[in-house]
């Protein structure tokens, strides 16, 4: 869904790359391709470098008016194995929009932990058990890393707010230089959540403060999505996903949930997410 929103906003005049992952696997199973725009999948870790090559070619061939370049990747292809290529692309200032579909694990290979897997999350390589609460590490702060490279536009978004995703994509494509948008995309099989509730789950992530939605321009936070005045506790978000259910089942889980609440509180503090208004009816907001 994330990809669909990005492409809807970007229009047909793009060339896009993608890292190895669910997205390219299910969309390019020969002899069929679901992409209506020019698309190239190379390897797991080089989406950003291939995009840099495409951008350089368009420049060299005098075809920059023909298409914008969008690099896509999942959390692995962005924050872990793909980090080097992303760093190089950002540092060299290529005119490329990089979109990270953050579903918080290596989903295509069967739900293994990534650098963007949240704290205490159960995955196949960070399972909860008698001696473990799941992933003991916090999410890698990719937006900060990208901003530190001097990228003019860095944003996080969520498919809970589809129009916001489209707005950010359109805005980014109007800026010259390297741009980064990290979109939170729940994966129902990976998160063990109800497919029909995907938007609601994504919304809870934002409303609890666990997934701050904001924009940074030239390294400074310029816009944030405020969360409702009456805060939703993280338990509301955690309990609708099987990947956190051990926190409710194992004795001592309340302590872990408190730690997660603290992460949410820190985010709210850091990005100034505390809102003045109460939420409107639970519709898909813009």
- Contacts of other proteins in 190-219 (CB under 8 A): 195-200
- For tokens 């816009």, what's the residue? 223
Region 90-119 residues binding other proteins, contact defined as CB under 8 A: 91-92
- If you search the block for the tokens 């820190």, which residue do you land on? 266
When the beta carbons of 173 and 260 are compared against other proteins, the nearer one is 173
Shortest Cβ distance from residue 34 to other proteins (Å)?
Answer: 4
User: Is residue 28 close enough to count as binding other proteins by CB under 8 A?
Assistant: yes
As a dihedral over the C-alpha atoms of residue 134, residue 137, residue 141, residue 142, rounded to 10 degrees, the angle is -60
| Contact status, residue 182 vs residue 168, Cβ threshold 8 Å | no
- β-strand pairing of 96-102 with 214-217: unpaired
CA 216 to CA 224: how far, in whole Å? 9
CB of 5 to other proteins, least distance (A): 8
Nearer to other proteins, 82 or 209 (CB): 82
Closest of 201, 6, 178, 35 to residue 103, by C-alpha: 201
In terms of CB distance, is 265 or 279 closer to other proteins? Answer: 279
Minimal CA–CA distance to 260: which of 120, 139, 130, 113? 120
Nearer Cβ to other proteins (45/122)? 45
Nearer residue to other proteins within complex by CB, 59 or 270: 59
Nearer to other proteins, 54 or 169 (CB): 54
Position 30 contacts other proteins (CB under 8 A): yes
How many residues belong to the site for other proteins (CB under 8 A)?
A: 60
263 near other proteins, judged by CB under 8 A: no
Question: Do 273 and 209 touch, CB atoms closer than 8 A?
Answer: yes
Cβ(94)–Cβ(149) under 8 Å? no
d(CA 51, CA 165): 21
Measured CA to CA, the distance from residue 51 to residue 16 in angstroms comes to: 7
Shortest separation between residue 129's beta carbon and other proteins, angstroms: 31
Partners of 15 in beta bridges: 69
CB of 281 to other proteins, least distance (A): 7
Whole-number minimum distance, CB 80 to other proteins, in Å?
15
By CB under 8 A, residue 156 contacts other proteins: no
Cα-based angle 267, 235, 183 (whole degrees, multiple of 5):
50
Q: According to CB under 8 A, which residues from 31 to 90 bind other proteins?
A: 31-43, 45-46, 49-54, 56-61, 63, 66-67, 84-85, 87-88
- The reply on whether position 162 binds other proteins by CB under 8 A is yes
Question: CA 66 to CA 234: how far, in whole Å?
Answer: 46
Whether the Cβ atoms of residue 85 and residue 53 lie closer than 8 Å to each other = no
Does residue 168 belong to the site contacting other proteins (CB under 8 A)? no
| Distance from C-alpha of 202 to C-alpha of 240, rounded to nearest angstrom | 11
The only residue of 6, 24, 205, 247 in contact with other proteins, by rule CB under 8 A: 24
Residues that bind other proteins (CB under 8 A): 1, 4, 12-15, 17, 24-25, 27-43, 45-46, 49-54, 56-61, 63, 66-67, 84-85, 87-88, 91-92, 162-163, 195-200, 281, 283-284
């Amino acid at each position: 869904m994330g990809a669909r929103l990005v492409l809807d906003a970007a229009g047909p005049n793009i060339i896009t790359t993608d890292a190895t992952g669910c997205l390219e696997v299910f969309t390019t199973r020969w002899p069929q391709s679901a992409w209506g725009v020019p698309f190239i999948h190379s390897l797991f870790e080089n989406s950003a470098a291939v995009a840099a090559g495409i951008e350089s070619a368009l420049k060299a061939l005098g075809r920059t008016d023909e298409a914008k370049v969008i690099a896509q990747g999942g959390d692995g292809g962005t924050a872990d194995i793909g980090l080097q290529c992303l760093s190089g692309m950002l540092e060299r200032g290529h005119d490329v929009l990089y979109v990270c579909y953050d579903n918080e694990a290596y989903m295509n290979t069967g739900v293994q932990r990534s650098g963007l897997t949240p704290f205490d999350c159960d995955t196949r390589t960070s399972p909860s058990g008698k001696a473990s609460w799941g992933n003991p590490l916090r999410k890698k702060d990719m937006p900060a890393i990208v901003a530190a490279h001097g990228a003019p536009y860095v944003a996080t978004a969520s498919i809970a707010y589809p129009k916001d995703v489209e707005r950010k994509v359109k805005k980014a494509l109007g800026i010259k230089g390297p741009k980064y948008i990290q979109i939170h995309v729940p994966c129902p099989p990976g998160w063990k959540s109800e497919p029909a509730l995907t938007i609601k789950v994504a919304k809870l992530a934002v409303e609890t403060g666990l997934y701050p939605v904001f924009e940074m321009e030239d390294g400074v936070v310029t816009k944030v999505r405020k969360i409702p005045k009456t805060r939703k506790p993280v338990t509301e978000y955690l309990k609708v996903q099987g990947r956190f259910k051990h926190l409710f089942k194992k004795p001592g889980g309340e302590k872990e949930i408190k730690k997660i609440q603290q992460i949410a509180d820190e985010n709210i503090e850091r990005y100034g997410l505390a809102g003045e208004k109460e939420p409107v009816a639970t519709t898909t907001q813009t």
